[in-house]
A and B are shown apart, each in its own frame.
Chain A
Amino acid sequence: MELSRRDFLKMAGIASAGVVVAGSAGTLLTGCTPVAKSKDGSLAGKQMAMLYVPSRHEEGCTDCTQACHLKHNVPNIADKKHEIKWIWETEFQHAFTEYMENDLLKERMKGVPYFVLCNHCANPACTRVCPTKATFKREDGVVMMDYHRCIGCRFCVAACPYGARSFNFEDPRDSLSKPVPNPNFPTRERGVVEKCNFCSELDIQGGELPYCVQACVKRKGSLEKSALIFGDLADEKSDFHNILEHLQKEEKLIPLRRKEIAGTQPKVYYLV
């Protein structure tokens, strides 16, 4: 084909524009995790994290789930296909699917309940894919949901490697009591995605504990003896840090995380 100089220049221009776009797309795609900064910077530098010690869990107890779901008006929906759950009990091989084929481990962990919830990852897949930044990372590491902005595309549900997110297929108020269990916390609407929020409505940076942890502490007597422990991973002087040290050094537990291969850097550690 006879290519005029003009046409060649046009194509070269488009090609180089394409290279620029591709380059910036590359950095955008790999590096970008939207982080919402707090107005007064009070959340900067914090890394809220959760520990779960399965061996301390009492058989049959679901206090954490009940506390969380009650305080956050999480509906108990009859149709299991449409269920909403923020924190729930499962078995070891479902929490850690890498060990699905390990029969010895499955035998050893038989009957031991493992609680799973949103891991509030440091490098979350969900916030990377949200097209409206309706889910975003807060400065203290909590992965937040903005229910006002969510368009219900469910890309985050697809992206989450832990199955932590639930979509509201129905109006949650249809399955909640009237009045709702906790009138001081809003319900959500049909058509948005929701998940555990690390109780960010509380002053968790100031020492208030999430409701699930509170329930376990109540049952076990103290944070040191609790099966669920919460705190700031970045604060080396905190109780949380001391407990973590104790669990690793004295009780010789190792901190595992779910699906390390996903590269999400979860903030929920399982001390086994």
Chain B
Amino acid sequence: MIEKALRGSKKYWLWLGFLATIAGIGVFFYVDQLWNGLGITGMSRDVSWGFYLANFTFFVGVAASGVMLVLPHYLHDQKEFGKITILGEFLAVVACGMCITFVTIDLGRPDRVVNLFLYPTPNSILFFDIVVLSGYLVINAIVGWSILDAESKGEKPRKFVKPLIYLSIPWAASIHTVTAFIYSGLAGRPFWLSAIMAPRFLATAFAAGPALLIIICLILRKTTDFDPGKVAIKKLSTIVTYATIAGFFFLLCEFFTAFYSGGAEHTATWKYLLFGEGGSGLQPYMWGVLISTMIAIALLVNPKTRARHDTLAIACVLVFFSIWIDKGLLLVIPGFIPNPLHEFTQYWPTGKELAITFGVWALGFMVLTLLYKIAISVKLEIGDHEIHH
């Protein structure tokens, strides 16, 4: 089936070329980082995790969101998702790959990454995270590929696929829960020490992932002959709506606990984010996220604007990017501000750091494009798509 990715229109190759350029620039600066060390980033002694892990955290959520298509389709027989479960599975594969990449480029000694496997440490959540992420990547790759392969040949999928699919459902929830546990298990970081961290992660994941899928489906409708169908997009938009509301609600719960209880250590970081106490670098982003989320919810709750594809697209873009900024910039980095001695050190990613990050994005989207090209070619061949108007 790989040969399907090697044939495409001019736009297809231009898109891949554009992504390859960005990826190339990212690789170039990563070599700089390998040579000169993590000092080229904006991280410091106090803010020791930065943009790389922020993106890692966000993309684990995107990976987990594949389950939102698999669960209704396989567990509850909702056939409308049938055309696009493969898109969700391939997105999960790519997102997992991006996550593992982000963690690896964040290491101070990537040459020693083998130590993770030579000296397994089950009490370390990071160790678990690597294990479950790799496992999820493998599961989705196998499931997606074998089902697609079977469909292209007009056969039924092999017997081992079904149990793997059932396994992937709790596994998806677990990868993001484990990622949340990285943060929520640290008594020394009161901003992260919240029981609601894992539910927040899952809710925002199930909003951002399907939002991205909706945007991709809409783009595919325009640029290819593949139409996932109005019903599938409608169902996805329902998921995005409820998940965004849930995520926003959880955020408001955090506000309540912090500000009503008034404890100094609990509110210090929220005051930094909302009111700029200690530094106002991230303040505009915090308010931007709040406002964007509210606009998105307004667009999504109203059935008319949710049904119309142009307003839906706007809402999904708002959801995707505001959750990206919230989970990344406004969750990982502020955990370190103020530091345990209540000193404020500001953080902003450097240009090189951004270039490397977007290089990883580009690599991910390249692989996604190739995989989707294969999936869509198969779907078009077997006629598993709506008639495009």
Contacts and interface: CB of A to CB of B under 8 A. Distances in A.
Direct contact of A and B (CB under 8 A): yes
Contacts of A171: 37
Given A131-B126, A150-B109, A81 B340 contact: no
A32 B123 contact: yes
B334 to A, nearest CB: 13
Contact of B108 (A10, A129, A158, A167): A167
A125 B188 contact: yes
B28 to A, nearest CB: 20
Contacts of A29: 123, 125, 185
B311 to A, nearest CB: 35
A25 B147 CA distance: 33
Interface of B: 37-39, 43-46, 48-49, 75-77, 103, 106-110, 112-113, 115-116, 118-119, 121-128, 130, 162-163, 166-167, 170, 182, 185-189, 264-265, 335-336, 339-343, 345
B48 A154 contact: yes
A167 B45 CA distance: 6
29 contacts: A11-B166, A14-B166, A25-B128, A29-B185, A90-B341, A100-B264, A125-B186, A125-B187, A131-B116, A131-B124, A149-B115, A151-B110, A151-B112, A151-B116, A152-B38, A152-B109, A154-B106, A155-B182, A157-B48, A158-B336, A159-B186, A159-B188, A159-B189, A161-B186, A162-B188, A162-B341, A163-B340, A169-B39, A192-B108
B124 A154 contact: no
Nearest to B181: A29
Contact of A133 (B119, B125, B162, B163): B119
A179 B340 CA distance: 35
A132 B115 contact: yes
A129 B124 contact: yes
A190 B109 CA distance: 8
Interface in A39-88: 79-84
Contacts of B112: 132, 149-152
Interface residue tally of chain A, by bracket?
Answer: 35 or more
B127 A163 contact: no
Contacts of B339: 163
Interface of A: 1, 7, 10-11, 14, 18, 25, 28-29, 32-34, 79-84, 90, 93-95, 97-98, 100-101, 116, 125, 128-134, 149-155, 157-163, 166-171, 189-193, 259, 261-264
A93 B341 CA distance: 8
B187 to A, nearest CB: 4
A159 B182 CA distance: 9
B187 A151 contact: no
B345 A81 contact: yes
A97 B190 CA distance: 12
A264 B341 contact: no
Given A151-B112, A161-B187, A192-B108, A97 B265 contact: yes
A80 B38 CA distance: 15
Contacts of A149: 112, 115, 119
A27 B105 CA distance: 32
Contact of A158 (B49, B170, B342): B49
A192 B187 contact: no
Nearest to B130: A131
A90 B341 CA distance: 9
A97 B342 contact: yes
Given A133-B119, A191-B37, 6 more contacts: A11-B166, A149-B115, A163-B340, A170-B39, A190-B37, A191-B108
A169 B125 contact: no
A151 B109 contact: yes
A83 B109 contact: no
Contact of B124 (A81, A116, A152, A155): A155
